Amino acid sequence: MYGFEALTFNIHGGYLEAIVRGHRAGLLTTADYNNLCQCENLDDIKMHLSATKYGSYLQNEPSPLHTTTIVEKCTLKLVDDYKHMLCQATEPMSTFLEYIRYGHMIDNVVLIVTGTLHERDVQELLEKCHPLGMFDSIATLAVAQNMRELYRLVLVDTPLAPYFSECLTSEDLDDMNIEIMRNTLYKAYLEDFYKFCQKLGGATSEIMSDLLAFEADRRAVNITINSIGTELTREDRKKLYSNFGLLYPYGHEELAICEDIDQVRGVMEKYPPYQAIFSKMSYGESQMLDKAFYEEEVRRLCLAFEQQFHYAVFFAYMRLREQEIRNLMWISECVAQNQKSRIHDSVVYMF
Amino acid sequence: MGESRGGGCCPPMDLMRSETMQLVQLIVPMESAHLTVSYLGDLGLVQFKDLNSEKSPFQRTYAAQIKRCGEMARKIRFFKDQMSKAEVLPKELLEKESDIDLDDVEVKLGELEAELVEINANNDKLQRSYNELMEYKLVLQKAGEFFSSAHRSATAQQREIESEDSQQAGDDLLESPLLQEEKSVDSSKQVKLGFLTGLVPREKSMVFERILFRATRGNIFIRQTVIEEPVIDPSSGEKAEKNVFIVFYSGERAKSKILKICEAFGANRYPFSEDLGKQAQMITEVSGRLSELKTTIDAGLGHRNVLLQTIGDKFELWNLKVRKEKAIYHTLNMLSLDVTKKCLVAEGWSPVFASNEIQDALQRAAVDSNSQVGSIFQVLRTKESPPTYFRTNKFTSAIQEIVDAYGVAKYQEANPGVFTIVTFPFLFAVMFGDWGHGICILLATMYLILREKKLASQKLGDIMEMAFGGRYVILMMSLFSIYTGLIYNEFFSIPYPLFAPSAYDCRDASCSEATTIGLIKVRDTYPFGLDPVWHGTRSELPFLNSLKMKMSILLGVSQMNLGIIMSYFNARFFKSSVNIWFQFIPQMIFLNSLFGYLSVLIIIKWCTGSQADLYHVMIYMFLSPTDELGENQLFPHQKTVQLVLLFLALVSVPCMLLPKPFILKKQHEARHQGQSYAPLDETDESLHVETTGGSHGHEEFEFSEIFVHQLIHTIEFVLGAVSNTASYLRLWALSLAHSELSSVFYEKVLLLAWGYNNVFILIIGILVFIFATVGVLLVMETLSAFLHALRLHWVEFQNKFYEGDGYKFAPFTFIFTANEDE
C-alpha cells in the first residue's frame, strides 16, 4: 500500500508541498468566520480580510465594494497560487495539477454553450467563467451549433477531447442535452482522474481514491435527485454514474430506479459513511443535502493534510480554497442584503 | 528601584541593567485623546497594551477612522503608481512643515483622485481611438500591398488568357490567383466573394486560422502578414505582436461564423475598400486624424503631468500624515472606553525616567486641544514582568543586537552586552591577529563611518546593510586585530622588527637565516609581542602553538569566571541568597579548583620556565592523586594543594545539586502559610511579598520538576566546565589557520611570482594575491572568526548567567512609521 515515497518525494515535491502547507495555514479559521459573520457592511469584511492573506489583493479596491469584486479578487489569489505551483511542478505532479482544473473547464464549456443557446453576450459569459477553467479558444464555443461541431471546432485542441468520445451526437444543443453532456464529461473526467491517481500509486492513490470516490458518489446522488421527474430514462441515468466509488455497482442499480428523494435516502442509508449525512436531514428534504455533503467533503479534505508525501494535499487545498471563496461569497451576499440571520446556513467551517 | 541601582555595589550603568519600567495608566478625556496619542508618539516612550484584544478590528471604537485612513492610503498608493508611471518624482520632505488637517487632506485627495481619474479616462479614450486608427492604418497598408500584388499577378495572367474580360477586371479585383482557375473553369457560376480584414494577436494566429478553416470546412482563403513592430492593442492598452489578416469567404452563414470567431479571438476588424482610389483617400484621412489625435493626446498628457507634479510636491507630506494618523487610530483602538464614554483609559509600559516627559506631553495635549479636564497619569502595581529596554546609542546598539539575537534579557537582569563591547572584538582579534589585515578592515569600516549620514539615508543591499549596521563593531574588531597583530607580529604574515631589533643574533657569520641553533641573545628581550626572529624557524610552530593554546585557556577561564561572577551580581540584585550560596560559590570553587588551577600552573610555568608536563599533571590529578609528581612538580606542596582542590571540586558538586530545591520548597511552604493565615491588616505587606516574589506567587510548586531542572543544570555546568574550556581552544585553532593561510598566500603566490623575474607573471601573482587576500582572508576569515566569537559569547559566556527570556520594549513611535516602507 505504501511505497517508499518518503525516500524520494522531496526531490521534486518537497518545495511545493511546503508551499501548499504554507498556503493551508492561510485558510480562514472558525474564529475568522465568526468575526466575518459579525460584519455590518462589505467594508468591514474588507477590513477583516486585510489582515489575512487576501489583504494585498483587496487593498487597492475603491471603497463602495461589491460582492463580485471580493469574490473576484479572492479567486484571483487562488489562481495566482495555482499558477505559481504549476510553474514549479514537474511531472507527474504538473499533470496532477492540470487534472484539478479540468472540472472547471467542463463547467466553463457548459456555461458558454448554455449562454449562447439563450443568446447571451459572449463577453459577459466569459467574465462569469472560472479563471481556472479558461483555455485559448473558449470564446469560439459560441459558434458551435451541435455537439459534433463543438468537438470538432474547439474541444479537440483541449485536454477535454478524450472525454467527448461518449457524447458525440449530431443533435442540436438544448438544455437537456447540455446537462447530459456535462455529466457525461464529468463522468469521463472523474474516471480518468481516478485512473491517473491509481497509476501514481502510494499515498496519493489511496487518499485521492477516497476523495474522488466521494465526489463520484455525490454526483451520483445529485444526478438522481435532479433527474427525478424528468424524461431521462433509467438506463440513461445509470449511464451518467461514474464507474467507481462506494456506490458502484450495486448502489447505482438501486439509485437508477429511485422515483423520489426518500427512496434515494433509503439507498444511501445502507452505506455507513453516508448514513450520517442523511440521518441529519428530515424526511422529504433536500435543501440541506448540499451543505451536508460539503461539510463531509471539507472534513475529508482536511484529513488529507494529516499525511505527508502525497499529491492529494494539492487537490485538497484547491478544493478547500474554493469552498472558502463560496463561504466568503455567501457571507458577503448576506451582509450586503441584510440577511444576517441566514449567514450560518451555508457557511462550512474548516479547521 | 532607581536609588538601589545607584547605591549598590556598582556605579549606575545604563547598559548593565535595563531601564526600570512602570505600568502606567492614563485616563484621557475623549476630546484630547487624539492629540495625546500623537504627542506620545512623538515622544516614543510608551508601549501601549491592547485592552480590547477580545474585540475584532471592526468592532473597535475608531474602526471608521481607520477605514478612512485606509481609503486615503489607497489613494496615495494610486498617486504613487501614477507618478512612477509618468516618471514624476515626489519631492523630498525637507523639514517638518506646518501641521495639516486630516479632513483637508482627505478632501484634497478625493478631488485630486477624481480629477486624475477623469483625465486618465479621457486620455484612455483618446489613446484607444488613436491605437485603433493606428491599427487601421496598418491594415490599410498591409492589405493594400496584398491586393496590389494580387492584382498585378492577376492582370498579368489575365492578359495572357483573354483580353475581352477586361471590363470585368475592375469588379473582380479581389480575385486572387488562387481563385483564378476556378473562375476560368466555371465563369458562369460566379459567386460574389466577401472578405474581412483585421488584426489578430500573433500567438493566436495559428489557432485562429485553424478554427476558421474547421468552422467553414475549408471554404475560406486567408492571408496573414506579420507586422514587425509591436502594436498597442486598443482594448487592453498593452503592446502586442499582431498579424494583419484578410479572409475571403462566400455566403452569409460563413460570414456570421467568421465574425463570431473574430470576436472570440479578440481580432479587431476594420473596413477595407477594394477601390484603390478610396484606399488612398482612407489612408490620408486616417493619417490626418492620427496627427490630430496625437496633438490632443500630448496636450492631455501635459495637463496630467502638471497635475502629478502638484501632487508630487505634497506627496511625502500627505503620505507621512496619513500613516501617522493610521498609527494613532490603531493605538487609540487599543485603549478601552470608559463606562461614561467620556474618556479613554490607556495602559502601557514606560520607563520610570520618562514619567515627567509623559506628564508634560499629557498636559500640552490637554492645553492644545482646549480640553476642560486634564488627563490623569497614575502608576499601577503589577505582577507582570515588564519589557526590557536598554537605552543604546549608535555605538552600543549593534552590540546589543548581537546579545538580543540570542535572547532578550529578562527584565533588569545583568546585560552581557556591557562586556561584549570589549570581549567580542577582542576574541575576534585573537583569531584574526594580523595588523595588515586589520588596517584593511579599518579602512573599509572608516569609509562606512565617515559617510554614515549619506549611507544611512539611502537603501543598501542586504549584505551592505548588515555591514553598515555593524560598522562600529567592525571598527572595534579591526582596532583589536591591529593590536593582536602587533603582538603576533604579523603584517600579511610577515614580521617586522617594529619596536626594537630582534633580541637574537647570529653567533658568527656562518649561521644561516633559517636555523635555530647558533643564535645568541645579544640585546634585551623584544619589548612588545613576538620576536620577529621566530619567523621561518623550525621551532616556530611548536612555540606559537604552545603559546596560543595556553593563552586560549587563560582567556577562556577568565571569561567563564566573569560569567559566573555576573551570576553573583544577578543573585544580589534579585536578592536571592540561595543562588549566591548554592550556585555562585560552588560553581566558582568547581571551575577554579580545576581549570583555575590549570591557569595558575600555566602562569607558573611561564614565569619559572619549568619543563613540567601540564597534561600529565592535570590527568594524574584525577587518576592517581596520591602519586608523587616527580619532575612535574612546579612548586612545593603541590600534591597537598592538588588533593585539597580535588576534594573541594568533588564537594561542590552536591552543593550545587541538592540544597537549592529543598530550600526553594521550604521557602514556598513558608510563604504559602504566611499568606493563608495573614491577619487582615497586613494585606499591604503580603501584597509586597507577592510583588517581589514575582510571577511565582500563585504558581503550583512542583518539587520534582524543580529538582530535575536543578539536576540538569548541575550536570550541564560540571560537564560544561570541561567542554567549554576545550571550546576556547578554537581561539588557537582559528588563529593558527589564519596565519598559516596568509603565509601560504604570501609565500606560494607572491614570492613565487617574484622569483620568475618576469613582469607579466609578477602582475598575475600580485592580482591573485590581492584577490585571495580580500576574498579568503578579509571576507571569509572575518566571517568565520566572527561566528566563532559569537558562539563563544552566546554559549560559553552567556550560559553561565544569562536567562534571556524577556521581551523587548516596543514603544509607540512615529520614527518607525516614517521609515517603514511597504
Our CA-based measurement puts residue A346 at a distance from the nearest CA of chain B, in whole angstroms, of: 22
Chain A: residue whose CA lies nearest to B79? A60
Ranked by mean pLDDT, the top range of B220-229, B297-306, B658-667, B729-738 is B729-738
Q: Give dist(CA A35, CA B737) in Å, integer.
A: 61
CB contact under 8 Å between B70 and A157, yes or no, is no
The H or E element containing residue B226 is: strand B221-226
Q: Tell me: the pLDDT tens digits for A112-147?
A: 888 888 888 777 888 888 988 888 777 777 777 777
Distance of CA B441 to the CA centre of its chain: 22
- Give the position of cell 611570482: B753
* Best mean pLDDT range from B320-329, B447-456, B710-719, B813-822: B710-719
3-state secondary structure B722-777: HHHHHHCCHHHHHHHHHHHHHHHHHHHHHHHHHHCCCHHHHHHHHHHHHHHHHHHH
Q: Is residue B513 very low, low, confident or very high in pLDDT (cuts 50, 70, 90)? A: low
Residue B258 burial (C-beta neighbours within 10 Å; 0-12, 13-18, 19+): buried
As beta bridge partners, residue B201 has B242
Interface test with B, best of A140, A156, A331 (most B CBs within 10 A): A140
- Model confidence pTM above 0.80: no
DSSP-derived letter for residue B388 is B
Q: Is A161 on the interface with B (CB under 8 A)?
A: no
From A150's Cα to the closest Cα of chain B, the distance in A is: 10
The residue among B477, B375, B471 whose CA lies nearest residue B431 is: B477
Chain A, residues 22-51, CB within 8 A of chain B, namely 35, 38-40, 43-44, 47-48, 50-51
Contact B286, B64 (CB under 8 A): no
Q: Give whole-number Cα distances, B447 to B471, B472, B801, in Å.
A: 10, 12, 37
Q: Is the peptide bond before A249 cis (omega within 30 degrees of 0)?
A: yes
* Binary contact (B263, A143; C-beta < 8 A): no
Going by C-alpha positions, the residue among B585, B653, B71, B551 that lies closest to residue B325 is B71
pLDDT (mean) for B641-662: 92
Give the distance from CA B221 to its chain's centroid.
62
What pLDDT does residue A47 have? 81
Q: Which of A1-5, A148-152, A261-265, B643-647 bottoms out in mean pLDDT, i.e. has the lowest?
A: A1-5
- Give me the mean pLDDT over the A160-167 stretch: 78
Task: State mean pLDDT over B45-58.
Answer: 82
Q: What is the pLDDT of residue B755?
A: 87
| DSSP class per residue in A148-208 | HHHHHHTGGGSTTGGGGGGG---SBP-HHHHHHHHHHHHHHHHHHHHHHHHHH-HHHHHHH
pLDDT at B188 over 50: no
Q: What is the ipTM of this complex?
A: 0.71
* Interchain contact B53–A (C-beta under 8 A): no
Determine whether the interchain pair A154/B207 forms a contact, defined as Cβ–Cβ distance below 8 Å.
no
Return phi, psi of residue B11, to 5°.
-65, 160
Hey, is the C-beta of B255 within 8 angstroms of any chain A C-beta? no
> What is the amino acid identity at position A90?
T
B616: which residues sit within 8 A by CB, 6+ positions away?
B632
Check A122 against B264: CB less than 8 A apart: yes
Measured CA to CA, the distance from residue A328 to residue A74 in angstroms comes to: 9
CA distance B310 to B115: 12
Angle value at C-alpha B291, between B288 and B297, nearest 5 degrees = 140
Phi first, then psi, for residue B239 (nearest 5°) are -75, 140
Q: How far apart are CA B646 and CA B622, in angstroms?
A: 8
Q: Give dist(CA B548, CA B550) in Å, integer.
A: 5
Chain A's closest residue to B264, CA to CA, is A139
CB–CB contact B211 A44 (8 Å): no
pLDDT at B821 over 50: no
Range B34-56 average pLDDT: 85
What is the CB neighbour count within 10 angstroms for residue B810? Answer: 12
Interface contact A53, partner B, CB < 8 A:
no
pLDDT band at B479 (very low <50, low <70, confident <90, very high): very high
B212 neighbourhood in chain A, CB within 8 Å: none
Give yes or no for B253 touching A (CB within 8 A): no
Which run of H or E residues covers position A167? none
Which grid coordinates are listed for B703? 518539587
Interchain CB distance below 8 Å, B70 and A40:
no
User: Quick check: A113 and A141 in contact, CB under 8 A?
Assistant: yes
Nearest residue of A to residue B217 by CA position?
Answer: A153
pLDDT grade for A284, boundaries at 50, 70 and 90: low
Q: In angstroms, how far is CA B745 from the centroid of its own chain?
A: 34
pLDDT band at residue B509 using 50, 70 and 90 as cut-offs: low
d(CA B87, CA B238): 18
- Lowest-confidence range among B1-10, B720-729, B764-773? B1-10
Residue, of A319 and B56, whose pLDDT is higher: A319
Q: Is B214 in contact with A153 (Cβ distance < 8 A)?
A: yes
Opening angle at CA B147, ends B141 and B150, nearest 5: 140
Chain A environment of B56 (Cβ under 8 Å): 35, 38, 48
Sign of the C-alpha dihedral, residues B613, B615, B616, B617?
Answer: positive
- Beta pairing partners, B243: B200, B226
* Cβ of residue B263 closer than 8 Å to a chain A Cβ: yes
For residue A42, what is its C-alpha cell? 462589505
Alpha-carbon torsion (B433, B439, B440, B445), positive or negative = positive
Nearest-10 Cα torsion for A260, A262, A267, A271: 140
pLDDT over threshold 50, residue B736: yes
Helices (H) and strands (E) in chain B, counts: 30, 13
Least CB–CB distance from A48: residue in B56, B70, B261: B56
CB contact under 8 A, B78 and A60: yes
Q: How do residues B94-142 score in pLDDT, each as one tens digit? A: 655 556 777 888 888 888 888 888 888 888 888 888 888 888 888 888 7
Predicted local confidence at residue A192, as pLDDT: 92
Query: Is the distance from CB of B382 to CB of B759 less than 8 angstroms?
Result: no
pLDDT of residue B169: 46
The three cell numbers of residue A311 are: 499529491
Residues of A in contact with B261 (CB under 8 A): 140, 143
Cβ-defined contact of B265 to A140 (cutoff 8 Å): yes
Q: Is the pLDDT of residue A156 over 80?
A: no
Hey, which residues 283-302 in chain B have their CB within 8 Å of chain A? none
Question: What is the rounded CA–CA span in Å between residue A192 and residue B724?
Answer: 63
* Residue A56 contacts B where some CB pair is shorter than 8 Å: no
Tracing cell 562600529 back to the chain, one arrives at B472
CB B576 within 8 A of CB B566: no
Cβ <8 Å between B70 and A39:
no
- Could you tell me if B516 and B538 are in contact, meaning their C-beta atoms sit under 8 angstroms apart? yes
- Closest to B698 measured CA to CA, from B724, B671, B738: B671
* Cβ-based contacts of A63 with chain B (< 8 Å): 67, 71
B705 in reach of chain A (CB within 8 A): no
CB pairs under 8 A between A and B: 64
Please report where in the chains the cell 607558573 appears, as a residue: B604
Which residues lie closer than 8 Å to B496 by C-beta, 6 or more apart?
B489, B532
Q: Is residue B715 less than 8 Å (CB to CB) from chain A?
A: no
Contact A40 B58 (CB under 8 A): yes
Cβ separation A51–B261 shorter than 8 A? no
**Cβ–Cβ gap B58/A157 under 8 Å:** no
Query: In the 8-state DSSP scheme, what is residue B584?
Result: I
Rounded-to-integer distance, Cα B797 and Cα B425, Å: 14
| 3-state SS assignment for residue B508 | coil
Q: Is the pLDDT of residue B182 over 60?
A: no
CA distance B213 to chain A (A): 9
Cβ neighbours, 10 Å, residue B47: 20
Q: What is the pLDDT of residue B181?
A: 45
Mutation pick from B52, B54, B56 vs chain A, by most beta carbons of A within 10 Å, is: B56
Q: Does B211 contact A122 at a Cβ distance shorter than 8 Å?
A: no
Gap from B261 CA to chain A (nearest CA, Å): 6
CA distance B135 to A53: 42
Chain A residues close to B260, C-beta within 8 Å? 122, 140, 142-143
pLDDT in tens, A294-310: 888 999 999 999 988 88
| B194-201: strand order across its sheet | B221-226, B242-249, B194-201, B268-270
B192-196, B467-471, B540-544, B599-603: the lowest-pLDDT one: B192-196
pLDDT, averaged across chain B: 82
CA distance B822 to B810: 20
Phi and psi at residue A116, in whole multiples of 5°?
-65, -30
Reading the block at residue B247, the C-alpha cell is: 479572409
The answer, for B80 touching chain A at a CB cutoff of 8 Å, is no
A-chain residues near B263 (CB < 8 A): 122, 139
Q: Which of B58, B200, B214 to mutate to test the interface with A (most CBs of A within 10 A)?
A: B58
Of A43, A122, A138, which has the smallest distance from its Cβ to B67's Cβ? Answer: A43
SS3 B233: coil
- The distance of B289 to chain A (nearest Cα, Å) reads 30
* Chain B residues with beta carbon closer than 8 angstroms to that of A35: 56
> Is B760 in the A-facing interface, judged by CB distances under 8 Å?
no
Residue A306 is classified by DSSP as T
The mean per-residue pLDDT over the stretch B503-519 comes to: 63
Q: Find the helix packing angle between A202-227 and A289-304, rounded to 10°.
A: 180
CB-CB under 8 Å, A136 with B207: yes
Report the interhelical angle of A261-268 vs A272-279 (nearest 10°).
140
User: What is the secondary structure of B369-385 as a DSSP string?
Assistant: TT-SS--EEEEEP--SP
A152 touches chain B (CB under 8 A): yes
Residue B683 has pLDDT above 60, yes or no: no
Taking the C-alpha atoms of residue B98 and residue B756, their distance in angstroms, rounded to an integer, is 72
CA distance B78 to B91: 17
Mean pLDDT of the B510-515 span: 55
CB-count burial class (<10 Å; 0-12, 13-18, 19+) for B271: exposed
Rounded CA gap, A312 and A316, in Å?
6
Average pLDDT over residues A28-49: 84
